[in-house]
Amino acid sequence: MSKPLPSASGHFRRSYADEFRLIETRLAKTSAAAFALVLLVFPFAVSPFYVDLATQVFLAAIGALALMLLTGIAGQISLGHAGLLAAGAFTTGILYKEFGAPFWVTLPSAALAGALLGVVFGLPSLRLRGLYLAVSTLALHFLVVYLGGEYETRRGFSTGILVDPPVVFGYEIYAPRVWYFVLLAAAALTLLICINLMRSRSGRAWRAIHSNETVAEALGIGIARYKLLAFVITSAITAMAGALFAYYRGFVSIEAFSLYLTIQYVAMIIIGGMGSLLGALLGALFVTLFPYVIEGAMAALPGADRLAGSVFAVNYAAFGIVMILFLVFEPQGLVGIWRRVRNYFLLWPFRQTALGERP
């Protein structure tokens, strides 16, 4: 998508130490602390329904962050995200069902399975670009889903695999609030990993590959290695998200990993804003809450009970429309809107215009 607007924050880095800091200004520090506090208090202040909702957002955020690394940062298009989630969930489900494997075995195994699958998904990227890559990952999605379905039918779990809550140090993770904090921690950890990856050599290599592969290669960046690395990291994180999903739901079924799930994740990074980790978070929030908002809106409408049967269809249609609106009118997503609003207030009463554009 197009380049992000420059920020007009008025804050400049004045020493090398500044460059390494994660949180740069005092304002940023206070707002981050306030936000953290809100997150900590949240589950105790609201009903279990909202706790579950927040937990879903965290889960989605992990997957969205991972996809953002791959597509938004490294520029490798993947339409196989649901397949990766399925791989993680099924690794967990199978290991648990067949061998009664505990939490600390299944999770790393899911990550490993994801990483291996990442190599498989990534191999085409060494030869294919853009559209063709998207297509190959799409095909792999169907393959993974088929394998999962095959396992279900072969072993007679045609309705899905039941997974008991994980037990850590003799403590069963079951209560919604406990899950809230576990997944909050997981999402925060993923965010931290992603931020640091972006600042590392790999992050710079990915952005170089994204902006121009040929030039990146000419600059001596090992394209193949970094592309594969992007696929592997993304897939490993996504598969872990899949494993957590399996435990959280206590249930794994291939039905849950349709193409629509992939589209939802792709929508998260589009709606959030390509190339920005903040965008991934915003997108995850937006897309996860969207169906609930629609449902709420429809319930508020007159004749709500008549519409009840079509909630699902309205959801689809509305989701399609929102995606189109973002693609057409706001390709930089929610982050783009946020940046514009911020710049507007920072620069007020002046206005920012690009060169060659009449104000």
Partner 1 sequence: MTVPLLAVDKLEVVYQRAITAIQGVSLKVSEGQIVAILGTNGAGKTTTLRAISGFLGLDDARVTEGTILFRGAHLENRPPHEITWRGLAIVPERDKVFPNLSVAENLAVVPRRRGTADGRSMEEVVYHFFPRLAELKRREAGLLSGGERQMLAIASGLMCAPDLLLIDELSLGLAPVAVGKLTESLVQIRDELGISILLVEQSASVALRIADYGYVLENGRVVLDGDAQRLLGHADIQEFYLGHAGGSRRSYRDVKQYRRSRRWYG
Partner 2 sequence: MQLAVNILVLAAIYALIACGYVLIYRVSRVLNLAHGELMMLGAYMLVATASAFSMSPVMAVVIAALMSLAVGGMVYLFLMRRMTGEMVLAAVLTTVALGILIRGAVILIWSAQQYHPRAMLGWGNPVITLPGDARISLYAALLIMATVVVYGGLFLFLRFGRWGMRMRAAGQDPLLAAQRGINLHAVFALAWGLSTFTGALAGILIALDSGLDSTMVMIGLKAFPAALVGGLDSLAGALLGALIIAAAEVGVIRFIDPLLADVVPFIVLIAMLVIRPWGLFGTREELDRV
Scanning 78-86, 123-131, 243-251, 350-358 for contacts with partner 1 by CB under 8 A, the matching segment is: 350-358
Q: What is the DSSP string of 216-248?
A: HHHTT--HHHHHHHHHHHHHHHHHHHHHHHHHH
200 vs 211 by CB, closer to partner 1: 211
Scanning 91-99, 105-113, 148-156, 170-178 for contacts with partner 2 by CB under 8 A, the matching segment is: 148-156
Scanning 70-78, 86-94, 215-223, 348-356 for contacts with partner 1 by CB under 8 A, the matching segment is: 348-356
Residues in 306-325 that interact with partner 1 by CB under 8 A:
none
354 binds partner 1 per the rule CB under 8 A: yes
303 vs 356 by CB, closer to partner 1: 356
266 binds partner 2 per the rule CB under 8 A: yes
Quote the strand ranges of the chain, DSSP E: 161-162, 167-168, 171-172, 251-252
Report angle CA 38, 44, 46 to the nearest 5 degrees.
90
| Contacting residue, 12, 214, 357, 359, with partner 1 by CB under 8 A | 357
Scanning 62-70, 156-164, 227-235, 325-333 for contacts with partner 2 by CB under 8 A, the matching segment is: 325-333
356 binds partner 1 per the rule CB under 8 A: yes
189 vs 317 by CB, closer to partner 2: 317
| Whole-Å CA distances, 214 to 217, 219, 267, 321 | 5, 9, 28, 36
Neighbours of 354 (CB within 10 A): 7
27 binds, among partner 1, partner 2, none (CB under 5 to 8 A by kind): none
Burial class (CB in 10 A: 0-12, 13-18, 19+), 50: middle
Tell me how far apart the alpha carbons of residues 349 and 329 are, in angstroms, rounded to a whole number.
Answer: 25
Burial class (CB in 10 A: 0-12, 13-18, 19+), 328: exposed
| Contacting residue, 28, 327, 337, 346, with partner 2 by CB under 8 A | 327
5 binds partner 2 per the rule CB under 8 A: no
Q: Please identify which residue in the block is written with the tokens 């009840």.
A: 308
215 binds partner 2 per the rule CB under 8 A: no
Neighbours of 335 (CB within 10 A): 24
| Whole-Å CA distances, 264 to 54, 63, 283, 291 | 17, 11, 10, 11
Binding site for partner 1 (CB under 8 A): 354-358
Residues lying near partner 2 in the complex (CB under 8 A): 1, 77, 124, 127-132, 134-136, 138-140, 142-143, 146, 149-150, 153, 260, 263, 266-267, 270, 309-310, 312-321, 323-324, 327-328, 331
